[in-house]
Amino acid sequence: MAAGNNGKASERLMGSLPVDSVQALAASLATSNHIPTRYIRPEAESEPVIISCAAEDEIPVIDFYKLLDPELSDAESSKLHLACQNWGFFQLINHGVPEEVIQKMMFVIEEFFKLPLDEKMLFKQPPGQLDGYGQLFVISEEQKLDWADILYFQTSPLHLRKIGLWPTKPSTFRDALDEYSMEVKKLSNCLLEFMAKNLGLDPAEMAGMLENGDQSVRINCYPPCPADKKVLGFSPHSDASFLTLVLQVNDVPGLQIRRNDKWFPVKPLPGAFVANIGDILEILSNGKYKSIEHRAVTNTEKERFSIAAFHGPNTNATIGPHSELVLEDKPLYKSLDYESYMKLFFASKLDGKSFLGRMKLNE
């Protein structure tokens, strides 16, 4: 996200208030079960969660290898189109990201979060900035907090990387993040070109929007909580991006999506990415594809780790309904330059799909 001409002002707009380490708080609960009230979320217990579901109600699975196969591509593209229309989420198998790259990334994440707090704090977010170790979307001293610690990095375009905030312990962290982010970006770009084609748009135009496009990586650590039904790891929200690719790092589930007014637990397939449509793609498609509200819950005994890679256009892009998709329908959303769009997003508290609601045109 470029800072533009008023770099320091825009950085302040996008910063988050500092909060204490949840890992340290969770460790202290071994001697006291007192959870600070800022973490207690009544809605975590009150909103219904689907306990079990039929096989046909599972999140769609898309085979990336089939998308690339000329003989199988049309059928798999149709499956992808339906997944984007009807679910906004899908699991991606045979994605081609090398297993070695994934394993290296998983290793450095778990090793970083094993470090003593004072070593992690060497890479804390500077005031008014997003990159580093800390938290996002904390805009007041009174708001409820998520039961999580995070690392957040701008990884593309390369000139916007703040490498000084990338951890140096373990020693392979920076190389692992560099390789992982580039592989996942290639995958996301290819998927988005298939999606553009499915919407009747020119894939080359999408490729142009994605050249030197925005990518950020959020690494989540959800510590265990003895009262896991009373806290939330990640507040309900939809992503501001085009497309998000999430990798489950360990075998602790926690991602849930809102479907038919209930929370639907996602069961990640081993080695798969969980992909979801972001607000930009809903806006670009004028509502044909839907970004879906989702959240993360915690576990009573085990830490959960995940990596979310968010993909957007380049900073010159305008966010708005595509002209070819509003020929028969009226535009449902405003148009806004990408930098202003992202400033608005990071200056907001996460609250369901309220951010997307602010992008809607009045009826």
Output the six-digit token pair for 355.
């951010």
What number is the average pLDDT over the span 239-251?
94
**Interatomic CA distance for residues 71 and 198, integer angstroms:** 17
1 belongs to a structural domain: no
User: Does a structural domain hold residue 37?
Assistant: no
Report the predicted TM-score, pTM, of the whole model to 2 decimal places.
Answer: 0.92
| Spatial separation of the C-alpha atoms in residues 178 and 241, rounded to whole Å | 20
Q: Which residue has the higher pLDDT, 343 or 77?
A: 77
The answer as to whether 50 is a domain residue is no
User: Which domain does 320 fall in, by range?
Assistant: 60-359
What is the structure's pLDDT at 7? 37
Contacts of 270 (CB under 8 A, 6+ apart): none
Average pLDDT for the chain:
90
Mean pLDDT (whole number) for 50-74? 86
Pick from 30, 29, 23, 36: which is nearest to 117 by CA? 23
CATH number of domain containing 149: 2.60.120.330
Mean pLDDT across 222-241: 92
Does residue 44 register a pLDDT over 80?
yes
Question: How confident is the model at residue 333, as a pLDDT?
Answer: 94
* pLDDT of 10 over the 60 cut: no
Q: What percent of the chain lies above the pLDDT cut of 70? A: 93
Is 197 contained in some domain? yes
Domain count, the chain: 1
In one-letter notation, the amino acid at residue 173 is F
pLDDT given for residue 239 in this prediction:
93
Tens digits of residue pLDDT in 178-211: 999 999 999 999 999 999 999 999 999 999 999 9
Least confident of 107-116, 166-175, 273-282, 343-352: 343-352
